[in-house]
A and B are shown apart, each in its own frame.
Chain A
Amino acid sequence: MTLSTKHLLGIETLSAEEISSILDTAQSMKKEGAPPGKESSPLAGKTIINLFYESSTRTRTSFELAGKRLGADVLNFDFSTSSMSKGETLKDTVINLQAMNPDILVIRHSAPGAAAFVAEAVDASVINAGDGAHEHPTQALLDLLTMRECRGSIQGLLVAILGDIAHSRVARSNIWGLTKLGATVRVAGPPTMIPPYIENMGVEMFYSVEEAIADVDVIMCLRIQRERQQKYLLPSLEEYAKFFGLNHERLAHAKKDVMIMHPGPINRGVEISSAVADGKNSFILEQVTNGVAVRMACFYLLAGGRQGHVAH
């Protein structure tokens, strides 16, 4: 099947079938490499622009590599330093980029809804690489792929997401994706970091990490932003580590074979101890590997490729 939408703005608007289709495509690409096409470069002649208004190494390079592996021309614009944009508005920037006729525009921006706003303004397909605390769909897709690879299916999994749920686009996209595919999701963290009515998104809410991680198949730690301290959400990072951080002692409350995941970059000793991050249950590096495959699949499908043509 192909995607029903021209853009990938979030997981909330995707159907379970579409999510599975992207995961299947990504799985094939990971195994077989780029799908057969013109000289194995199905996106040859296509242009992808990465437009990043927030600094990012991992996500930007992952998109870049994915595009290049499919044979596309990839341009990177880093607007995370304000001098680059020279006071130009987001709309003016993207309509100028549109004038270069890109096929796909990847955007990361601090404003929730920024990707949807850009999608309205341009002809290109838009991939949301993170819009504020709203969504980060490719991160959720690579997380889902990592879980599915290890456990065979998302259906029936019990997943705990720990940390600053209120400000996390990773949490939101994962909640939509996991619940659509039949997993049960728990969220846990200090009360200041749990947003109101989060249960209405179909999750169970905890404050206690010990209670939240009991019996779960997957623990996903979120990065604690250091500046949250200034916003009165946290007394200190030490306090967070002591009461909410994932360490070996606390992990004893979880199943022996629990998967440990983190979208990165990690704060060692804050939300996750080094021993846990580097331990045998950690899938953090596997997530990074899967990120490239998932982004290849998204590019491929948005550029009009069909899932099914990929698998041999």
Chain B
Amino acid sequence: MLLIKRGRIIDPANRVDGVFDVLIKNGIIARIALTIEPEEQGLRVIDAEGKIVAPGFIDMHTHLRDPGQESKETIASGCKAAAAGGFTALACMPNTGPVNDSPLITGSIISKALREGCVRVYPIGAITRGLQGEALTDIGALKEAGVVAVSDDGEPVMNAEVMRRALEYVTYFDLPVISHCEDKNLSQNGDMHEGFISTRLGLRGIPAAAEEVMVARDLLLAKMTGSRIHIAHVSTAGSVDLIRTAKAKGVLVTAEATPHHFSLTDEAVASFDTSTKVNPPLRSQKHLDALWEGLADGTIDVIATDHAPHGAKDKDVDYPSAAYGIAGLETAVSLTLSKLVHTSILTIEEAIAKLSLNPARILGINGGSLNEGGDADVTILDLEKEVTIDPENFRSKSRNTPFAGMRLTGGPVMTIVKGDVVWESESP
């Protein structure tokens, strides 16, 4: 049992922003009131004065690497990283080994997460078998087994006919399709954003158009089929424009941006630091400006990490040989607060909605709000906490971050899942 005292509750779903006490019993929010006295024995009282009490954060884009690449991450370590990052739930992408393209794999991930994971884990199923971009998976059976969305993330569905049929088919099962938008012919397995920095460094560029042509295609297909589509890791100005226009025309599109894409430009690549290698790549300032605008005006609904853990074997190599990906779970909230909230691009309410309510709605899962009688998944934030990113302290098995040593302001201080404190910061 927990009693959270005097925290500022921000719950966008219920339009609540005020100082209340929250009583948690048996994994459920028992009461939210102006003052609740600690009456019962065995009650832990948490002083949250000056802190923000928010619905538990949900990362809808995590790579857990389990099964298949457990040296990089496991369900257990990924969940610990999520908890330390302020997340009470995550949705994990299907590009594991084997690929999560069958109910059997989905079931095994769910049961392993229940046994070993300290946060909620929602598997995402593959769109196509083996992520090959050809034959559709048994999407209905995957839904029955527990997937909350389908995606071939990591690989684009290059064949437009396959994407069209996937979008049509999922409407019956009311699942969103999450699209990794990349035209592989245009991106050419490039190293970084195509622009002046790639020209200077002689690295192979990935043009913005490699993303945008696929965003445009998928929006047209979503319009044609009337399906829900969610655009993963939006990184370019053109994508933001396309999504904004499509939303205005009633296309059922939602979108996410990652902290690394809204925090860093391609200038970060100039030292050939392989921790900056990610797909889609870090873009130029013009694209960051557009992402900020898209986040502010609601074109981009969600902040998601695209947590992609890699070990030294994949990153301690020359730049073109390095794997794509950034371990993002443990830096996402501090980056959001520092780069978006303290800069007045987003209000704290908007930031919280993009980290909790919006992903819950898109995936159709519980959570994302604080209701009496509802699940007690809570994230407590300190907006003024000084944070220096130190990968050595990561709970993740991997350390691949371009933010090492960065000083940020604000971060999570406690993560509560089903009424249990699964993580709390050492310095209160």
Contacts and interface: CB of A to CB of B under 8 A. Distances in A.
B200 A111 contact: no
Contacts of A117: 272, 317-319
Interface in B52-76: none
Given A172-B202, A197-B199, A201-B200, A109 B194 contact: no
B318 A133 contact: no
A112 B205 contact: no
B210 to A, nearest CB: 13
Contact of B320 (A132, A167, A200, A201): A132
A196 B321 contact: no
Contact of B202 (A91, A112, A116, A200): A112
A12 B198 CA distance: 14
Contacts of A132: 202-203, 320
Interface string B281-317: 0000000000000000000000000000000000011
Nearest to B200: A201
Contacts of B317: 89-91, 117
B195 interface: yes
B320 A111 contact: yes
A167 to B, nearest CB: 8
Contact of B318 (A113, A167, A197, A198): A113
Nearest to B321: A111
Contacts of B205: 195-196
A196 B195 contact: yes
Contacts of A111: 318-321
Interface in A182-204: 195-198, 200-201
Nearest to A198: B199
Interface in B137-196: 191, 194-196
B319 A113 contact: yes
Nearest to A111: B318
A114 B318 contact: yes
Given A112-B272, A197-B195, A197-B196, A134 B201 contact: yes
A134 B205 CA distance: 13
A112 B202 CA distance: 6
A135 interface: yes
Interface string A62-89: 0000000000000000000000000001
B310 to A, nearest CB: 15
A180 interface: no
A131 B320 CA distance: 11
Interface residues of A, number: 27
Contacts of B316: 91
A297 to B, nearest CB: 25
Contacts of B320: 110-112, 132
Given A133-B202, A134-B202, A201-B199, A112 B319 contact: yes
Q: Which of A89, A91, A167, A195 has the most CB atoms of chain B within a 10 A radius of its CB? A: A195
Nearest to A199: B196
Contact of B199 (A109, A114, A196): A196
Interface string B267-285: 0000110000000000000
A24 to B, nearest CB: 28
Interface string A157-176: 00000000011010010000
Contacts of A197: 195-196, 199
Given A112-B272, A196-B195, A172 B318 contact: no
A200 B198 CA distance: 12
A69 B277 CA distance: 42
B201 A200 contact: no
Contacts of A113: 201, 203, 272, 318-319
A89 B318 CA distance: 9
Interface in A89-124: 89-91, 109-114, 116-117
A113 B203 CA distance: 9
Nearest to B271: A116
A200 B201 CA distance: 13
Nearest to B322: A111
Contacts of B321: 90, 111
A198 B194 CA distance: 12
A114 B191 CA distance: 14
Q: Which of A112, A116, A134, A200 has the most CB atoms of chain B within a 10 A radius of its CB? A: A112
Contacts of B198: 195-196
B267 to A, nearest CB: 13
B11 to A, nearest CB: 46
A111 B318 CA distance: 6
A111 B319 CA distance: 7
A196 B272 contact: no
Interface string B185-226: 000000100111011111101000000000000000000000
A196 B196 contact: yes
A89 B203 CA distance: 20
A306 B200 CA distance: 31
Given A110-B320, A195-B205, 18 more contacts: A90-B318, A91-B316, A91-B317, A109-B318, A112-B191, A112-B272, A112-B319, A113-B201, A113-B203, A113-B272, A116-B271, A135-B202, A166-B199, A172-B202, A196-B194, A197-B196, A200-B196, A201-B200
Interface of B: 191, 194-196, 198-203, 205, 271-272, 316-321
27 contacts: A12-B200, A89-B317, A91-B317, A110-B320, A111-B318, A111-B319, A111-B321, A112-B201, A112-B203, A112-B272, A112-B319, A112-B320, A113-B203, A113-B318, A113-B319, A114-B318, A117-B317, A134-B201, A134-B203, A166-B199, A169-B202, A172-B200, A196-B194, A196-B199, A197-B199, A198-B199, A201-B200
Q: What 7 pairs between A and B have smallest CB-CB spacing?
A: A133-B202, A113-B272, A197-B196, A111-B318, A134-B202, A195-B199, A112-B202
